[in-house]
Structure 1
Amino acid sequence: LVAIDGKKYLTDCFSTENMFRVIQSIPSPKAEPFKLWLAKVGYQRIEEIDDPELAISRAMKTYLRKGCSKEWINQRLKSIEIRKELTDEWEKRGVKEGREFAILTNEITKAWTDMDVRSYKNLKGLKKENLRDNMTNLELVLNMLAEASTTEISNSKRPNNWVQNVDVVKKGGGVARKARNEIEKNTGKSVITSKNANNLRLK
C-alpha cells in the first residue's frame, strides 16, 4: 500500500469476514465485547431467516434512525421486495448470483438512466454505499418499474441463454426510460439527481 510519505510498503490486509475471524480468535478479554456483538448479529440473522418480517422491521428502524422519512422508507422496502422477485426470476433462467446478477443490474440501470451503476454512484458521490439507499422517491419508483418490468417480460419470454437475458433486461429498463422521458418532458427537469442520503434525510 502507498503510505503518507508516498512510498509503498508491504501491508497485511483483511476482508471484513477475515477480520471478524481474527477477532473471534483473540483470547484477550478486551475482545469479548466484539465477540458478544458478533454473536448477537449472528443470532439476529438466524431469527430473520426463520421470520423474514423481523428483517423488514429492523430495516424500518435502521432507516428511521438515519433520519429517512416514512414515505421514502416504504418505497425502499417495496423496492427490496421487487428486487427479490427479479433475482428469483433470474435464478429460474439460469443466471448465477454474483457477477452475472451485477452485469444484468448494470444493463437495467444503463437502459433507464443512460449511466452504468458506477457512473450513477459517482454522480451521487458514493463509494461502497448502496445506490438504492441514496435514490430519491422518484428514482426509486422508476428503478422499481425497470426491475418489475424486467421480471414480467422474463416470465413471459422465458429466456434460456445469456444473450436472451441481456435482451430482456434492456427491454425492462426501456419501459422505465420511456416513463422517465415523459416525466422530464412535462416537468422540465432531470429525474436523475446528485442527491444522496445526506440530502434526503429529514431536517
Structure 2
Amino acid sequence: MTDKIVVFKDKQIRRILHNNEWWFSVTDIVEVLTDSSDSRQYIKKMRQRDPELNANWGTICTPLQLVAADGKKRKINCANTEGIFRIIQSIPSPKAEPFKRWLAKVGYERVQEIEDPELATARTRELYKAKGYSDAWIEKRMRGIAVRAELTEEWKSRDVGESPEYAILTAQISKAAFGMTPSEYKQYKGLDWENLRDHMTDLELIFSMLGEAATTEIARKADAQGFTENRTAARRGGRIAGDARKKLEQQTRAKVSTPENYLDEPEAIKKLKGKS
C-alpha cells in the first residue's frame, strides 16, 4: 500500500493505494464538499438521513491507515471511487459535480498507469522533481523502486505471504545491510510516517538496492520456497550489502548511514542533494 495526498481546489484529500486502486478518506471528501467544521457529525446525520447508505456503510467503507492530523498513522474510513460516488449522492452540494469530474480523472489516470507503467514512472519523476530532488538522486530512487518491485514479485512467486511477511524479510535485509531495521533507521533519521527511502542519500539508496538485488538473485539460484527459505536468502543478500558497506567505510573513514534527511533545514538538504 502506498499513501499520498492529493489536492482539490486547495483542499488536501488523503488517499491510499489498496488492492491496486485509489481509496480516499471519507472525512476529507465530506469536508471538501460541505465545508463542515465537524465532518464526523455530518457523516452521522447523513447516514441517518439515508437508511440505504447506512445499511451498506460497512461494505462501502474500509478502515485503512492514513496519516492523521497529529502526524501519526491511524485507521481512517476510506472508500474507492465507486463508494465515494455513492456517498456524494447523499450530499446536497453545488461542489459535487466538479468534484465528480475530478474524481473520475484521478481514477482514469490510475487505469492509464496500470495499462502503461511508464506513465506512473514519469509522474513519480515529476513529483520528486517538484519537491527539489536532484536528477542524480531521482535516477537512483527510480532504479531502487524497480529493484524493490522485482524482489516483491519474486517473493510472490515463491509462496511468501504479503504483509507482514514482506515487512519481516525487508527488515532482515536492512538489518544485515545497515545494522538497523527500517523502523530503527527511521528513528535514527528522526522520521515518523515518512517514506524512509525518500530520505536516504545516494549511497544509502545504492546499498539498499544491492541488498535487495542480491536477495532476489540468491532466492532464484537457491530456488527458495516459502517464508523460511526466503528469510535465509534475505539475510544472505543483506550481508552482501553490509560487507560492501563496511569495506567502503574502512576506505573512506566515513559512515554510509547518516541521520540527515530531507526534513532538515537547508544545509542538510543541500548535502543530500549534492551537485546534479
Preserved contact between residue 104 and residue 166 of structure 1 (Cα < 8 Å): yes
Mapping for residues 68-87 of structure 1, pairs under 5 Å: 68-87=133-152
Deviation at 1:32, TM superposition (A): 4.7
Query: Partner amino acid for 2:195?
Result: N
Greater RCO (CA < 8 Å, at least 6 residues apart) = 1
Query: Partner amino acid for 1:161?
Result: G
Deviation track 1:42-98 (CA, whole Å, cap 9, x = no partner) reads 111100011111011101100000000000000000001111111111112101222
- Runs of 4 or more, structure 1, over 3 Å off, are 14-17, 19-24, 30-37, 200-203
Greater percentage in helix:
1
2:157 paired residue number: 92
2:253 paired residue number: 188
1:125 matches 2:190: yes
Mapping for residues 14-25 of structure 1, pairs under 5 Å: 15=64, 18-20=77-79, 24=85, 25=87
Preserved contact between residue 165 and residue 227 of structure 2 (Cα < 8 Å): no
Q: How many residues align structurally?
A: 193
1:47 paired residue number: 112
Indicate the larger mover: 19-28 or 119-128: 19-28
In the alignment, which of 127, 134, 137 is matched to residue 62 of structure 1? 127
Structure 1: segments with no counterpart, 5+ residues: 1-10
Larger Rg: 2
In the alignment, which of 230, 233, 247 is matched to residue 165 of structure 1? 230
Deviation at 1:123, TM superposition (A): 1.2
Q: Could you say what the CA RMSD is over the residues aligned between the two structures, in angstroms? A: 2.3
Q: Percent sequence identity over matched residues?
A: 46
Structure 2: segments with no counterpart, 5+ residues: 1-39, 42-62, 67-75, 264-268
- Whole-angstrom distance in 2 between the partners of 1:120 and 1:177: 14
Provide TM-score, normalisation by structure 1. Answer: 0.86
Query: Partner amino acid for 1:125?
Result: G
Preserved contact between residue 23 and residue 31 of structure 1 (Cα < 8 Å): no
- Whole-angstrom distance in 2 between the partners of 1:33 and 1:131: 35
- Whole-angstrom distance in 2 between the partners of 1:43 and 1:53: 15
